[in-house]
Amino acid sequence: MNQKQFNAFQKLTHELTGVSISDHRQSMLEARVGRRMRALTIEDTNQYYQLVLDCPDEQMLFVDNVTTHETSFFRTPRIWQYLEQDFLPRWLAQNPCSVFNVWSAATSSGEEAYSLAILLNEFQKKHESFNFRITATDLSTEMIQKCLQGNYQKRAVASLLSQRPSLAKQYLTAHSGGYRVSDTLTNQIQFQIHNLFGEPNRISEFDLVLLRNVLIYFTQDDQDRVLSNIHSSLKHKGMLIVGESESILHSIANYENIAPCIYQASAALH
Ligand SMILES: C[S@@+](CC[C@H](N)C(=O)[O-])C[C@H]1O[C@@H](n2cnc3c(N)ncnc32)[C@H](O)[C@@H]1O
């Protein structure tokens, strides 16, 4: 891939996903584009670029390939402890008759959404009046298909099996050399394709949004756009959780930092 081709793919990636690939990551982009070209037995980079421009189906596959999907069950244990022991009991005491509404935005292959579902089911067992609704979205069609299938390799559930064996036993069954999450969990989650840069269609709806490990791929201006969208989707004083290496204190949207990675939406924008 020459410099001109790299710049063209860099620009296209940004237009389609918002993800900014810095100049020093050329080899990573080359490897990801190359993987797709080999699958199609295309040798000419310009020909592949044109195909992505012309063919919406290939555009989807390009997006799947150039984005990073790393995730795991109960990633960053501190966050899940906070939700279980602090946030949820407080939320229920303040909202005894409401439905807890949570969104896992940029959920990748679903481990985050299923961790939420497990946590909320367990909380419900202890608090019968508690009800919840989970939405999980990602830009990648392939990831949303994976979420809906709910099949995970041993490696993906290793931490759940070792750290929370009783939960793993309840919610996972052995399947094709790996594991499958219970249908009950899959049916509790609304999985959808959604671009974080798209118009927010859920206004003031969510009590909690998990937006973890995706902002790092965006420029500061793009982060601001996404954070404003998320702010519109959160209820007043709704909670936003970001990834361990992400901070949103620069954001033009109004968020108050509660603890590392944890923010509360304050006064509405406008
Ligand atoms: C590294 S994964 C994070 C998964 C999970 N939130 C976690 O922290 O484990 C980042 C995900 O963001 C998604 N993504 C990238 N750009 C996006 C966009 N503009 N809109 C929605 N999702 C996007 C990717 O498809 C990928 O699955």
Torsion (CA) 19, 21, 26, 32 in degrees, nearest 10: -10
How many whole angstroms separate alpha carbon 36 and alpha carbon 42?
9
CA 210 to ligand 1: nearest atom: 6
Q: What is the mean pLDDT of residues 155-181?
A: 91
3-class SS of residue 104: strand
Atom 16 in ligand 1: residue holding the nearest Cα: 17
185 CA to middle of ligand 1, Å? 21
CB 119 within 8 A of CB 81: no
Does the structural domain 77-265 have CATH classification 3.40.50.620? no
212 CA to middle of ligand 1, Å? 8
User: pLDDT band at 270, cuts 50/70/90?
Assistant: very low
CA 64 to ligand 1: nearest atom: 25
pLDDT of residue 268: 58
pTM of the model: 0.94
230 CA to middle of ligand 1, Å? 14
What are the domain boundaries of the chain? 3-66, 77-265
Task: Count, in order, helices (H) and strands (E) of the chain.
Answer: 12, 10
CB 150 within 8 A of CB 176: no
33 CA to middle of ligand 1, Å? 18
| Mean pLDDT rounded to a whole number for the chain | 94
- Whether pLDDT at 269 is above 70: no
Q: What is the mean pLDDT of residues 155-177?
A: 91
What confidence tens digit (pLDDT) does each residue in 195-204 have?
Answer: 999 988 788 8
Domain spanning 3-66: which CATH class is it, in words? mainly alpha
CA 111 to ligand 1: nearest atom: 9
User: pLDDT band at 250, cuts 50/70/90?
Assistant: confident
129 CA to middle of ligand 1, Å? 33
- Give me the sheet containing 234-242, strands edge to edge: 189-193, 131-138, 99-105, 206-211, 234-242, 262-265, 255-259
CB 215 within 8 A of CB 248: yes
138 CA to middle of ligand 1, Å? 6
How many whole angstroms separate alpha carbon 112 and alpha carbon 104?
7
Atom 12 in ligand 1: residue holding the nearest Cα: 106
Q: What is the mean pLDDT of residues 173-198?
A: 95
Mutate to test the pocket of ligand 1, among 214, 221, 245 (most ligand atoms within 8 A of CB): 214
How many whole angstroms separate alpha carbon 106 and alpha carbon 137?
6
How many CB atoms lie under 10 A from the CB of residue 2?
Answer: 9
What confidence tens digit (pLDDT) does each residue in 113-136 have?
Answer: 999 999 999 999 999 999 999 999
Same CATH fold, 77-265 and 3-66?
no
CB 136 within 8 A of CB 189: yes
C-alpha count within 13 angstroms, C-beta hemisphere, residue 267: 3
What confidence tens digit (pLDDT) does each residue in 41-90 have?
Answer: 999 999 999 999 999 999 999 999 999 999 999 999 999 999 999 999 99
What is the distance of C-alpha 124 from the center of its chain?
Answer: 24
CA 72 to ligand 1: nearest atom: 9
* Ligand 1 cavity residues, CB under 6 Å: 17-19, 67-71, 75, 106-108, 112, 138-140, 143, 195-197, 212-214, 243
